[in-house]
Structure 1
Amino acid sequence: MEKSLRYILNPDKTDGLVLTASVNCITNARDAYLEMKTVYDHFARDSFDSPPPLIGKGTVKAIHYVMSFADDENVTPELAHKIAKAFVRKNFGDDVQAVIATHVDASHIHNHVIINSYSLSGQKYYSNRSSLRQARETTNGVCRAFGVTPALNFENKGRSVSYYEWEQNKKGSSWKEQIRQEIDKLIPSFNSLDDLLQALEERGYEVKRGKYISIKAPGQQRFVRTKTLGEEYTEDSLNTRIIYREMGAGTTPVIDNKSQLRADYAAILSDVRILAIQRKKVPRKRIITAEYSVDNDLDLYRLSAQLSVINKDNIRSIGDLEGRIAKLKNEYENLRQEINEHIEEYNRMVSLLEQAQLFKELSNKGKLSDAEQLQLAVCRQALEQNDIHSPADADSLREKTRHLGIKISALKENLEGCRNRYDVYSDISKTYGEISKDDYISDLVEEEKQWRKQVAKKDKRKI
């Protein structure tokens, strides 16, 4: 969340932060994050900082809107910023917490709006098809109020083609190629598919998660499934490229003949290598920019990387592997629970420090109003109940809070490492299941047949 706020409040993108604003929070990534966190934690049954579960989806803590303007709308950065602020007030009301930023670094002016999923009054905002339709209608209404006729009109006629997409089509630019290049550029920097997809969203791409992952580039009309981008962009291939990118390259697997798991992997690696050499398997490149070869085959790379993990971690059998997966799952949940407990304590300590500061300010003030006297009494009670009787006690609490924050950060790193190892082991288990059923090679051969048929059909169309 804080990373997203930092991204939209980048001075290089917002004319030195001139084109930024906020509603019911400070226009600063760290402060806005803390203030949204306070509101969210008050109303939700979850913590703003809680890590996502290992399996399934976590809760939605904020909603990120992107509002783009085509060149022929003739919208200046200042006008775009006014439109964004008016949109937020009209669509969400006066008690929303929102951060607004207008970016001028791209080829087209666009606004970013991030709202807390809970308002100051506890209203829950949702992001779904209905709410998006309402947001679009509000946007068009606000645009017309400012004398701007929207180039992209969604009302009563479905989804029309944007000016930007029309121009890209006219130039012959490929949306799919643009998405491929962006994914290829980002993959080396991220440890999970979720992080990769979030990075795409931060760059203005829209992402849908379902049975298949679908992506839409800024200005593109329709979503495209990643599997239509090529074999290297299916969900399985993307996961493979991410989790094994640091493993398996240029390694010679050492085989332990006493381990059936390793022996089976060695055998399947040999078979897949032969298929690749004989050009009897679908070519899947590990390094997209390089020419395809046996050494640049994604299937070989994946199997080799998995065998490297098996050797490195001394996994002796599939039973041993499944036991480790179960242990990692428990470890992840225990870590997540520990982090949530520490976060709760950290939030309590931060709140006490805030009350200590307020107590100090009110104590040093002259005449107090009735409301201020009540605040002073509440602060005094809270501090006394927690054995904070002097500035030295407050300093001690501040130091404990700092150390707890460091501990939470370290635990979150351990959590991420645990999740990555779980993903790797689960992928090995899944692959070994295919190897054990003798499906791996037969599937590659069947894919090759289907691929050749498709190539033949395309060749006929060309003729």
Structure 2
Amino acid sequence: MHINKGKTLTQCLADRTDYAKNPDKTNSGELVSSFMCDADLVDSQFLLSKQIYLQKTGRIQKNDVIAYQLRQSFKPGEISPELANQIGYQLAEKVTKGNHAFIVATHIDKSHIHNHIIWNSTNLNCKKKFRNFWNSTKAIQKTNDLLCLQNGLSIIENPRGKSKNYGSWLEEEKPLNFSDKLRLAIDEVLAEKPENLDEFFSKMKSKGFEIKTGINLAFKGAGQRKFIRLRSLGKSYQENNLREVIEGKKEHKPQKRVRKYNDKKVNLVIDLQSKISQKKGAGYERWAKTFNLKQLAKTMNYLTENNLLNYEDLRAKAEVIINEFSRVSDSLKSAEKQMAEISILQKNIIDFAKTKAVYEDYKKSGYSSKFKEENITEILLHQAAKNYFKEVGLSKLPKMADLKIEYATLFTEKKKAYSKYNSLKKEMQEILNAKANVEQLLEFDEKEEHQQKKKAEQSL
């Protein structure tokens, strides 16, 4: 946030924080929390910290950042305002690392609950400023996703640059049928908290639905040939249940669209996210004990960032990396072997040259035992060198200068290969971990499905 043209610093801070704290959006201010500041006086306290900063440092920066803001949105009908505020507070703590005052204002005036998180650019001791960093959006996104996963909430596994509503995003992953669209519309209307059934009907009409009352309440949306009865949508959408939700007697629990695993071409990120959000099934507790949510979040991020959204792509990519790693590893071993051979050859050439004169004298002495005893070390070194040359098939010794050049070339190639080796090793570990995690989950699903099918057959 910067100072707007034609406004003062004081006005800008007040405008921004007042909008976030709007009592009409935050349940009369009950959904506003703060850290190291008073939510009611946050603009004045931010302003004071900047005055102290100027006195302490004397630094004046043109068009400086006066505060930072994050907007954090949640899927309609999936979270309570109180939990949303709590998660927003946790996210703010992780982003600011406890060095900056902040407020978290949870807005409930839209169909989707969302947070406005605003923190002071000046730190608590008024000596430094918060500095954004390159690619911070991804880092914050990962932190946010992890918090949501830990609380069993949905995340968007492949964010686009241009925002879109949840229904459009969901339809891209799997086309919505008419029942899905009706459920989603009801979820959104109930999230707006209509005061009575008439207001509920009015909001549904504004979304393009015709309504048929009578024994069975039914709706018909654009493109539908027949009305859909509420009783066909599931327990959460029964008429008596909706009435109790509207009257405030119970909380609406949207039916989650879970894509069941049926082949290895489905979107793996959707599969993994569904596994977290379901938290049910005969084997879930056993699975949860051996599977860590942080590990799962890392897997989901890896799959998304590397566009490995179906199993076959993941498997093929892993095979390519393994083969490339093996090739580089073999190349390294070959270079190291050649360098070792050159070192041994150099040593023998040096030994041969140093002991050549002594060995010539030994031959002239008629291979005298006394001479050998007096010069045993030199003679043995010379003989060992000659035997080595014979073993490796050398009839003519190479020049030492040529061997040094060859060794230096191999050393340079080895150094480059090590860099590639370490990079591929890390990449291979990442993809094999992700592949193992995915296979563990998919195997769990297959086993659970098999057990359910077996039970069904036994009951027939």
TM (norm. structure 1) is 0.31
Higher Rg of the two aligned structures = 2
TM (norm. structure 2) is 0.31
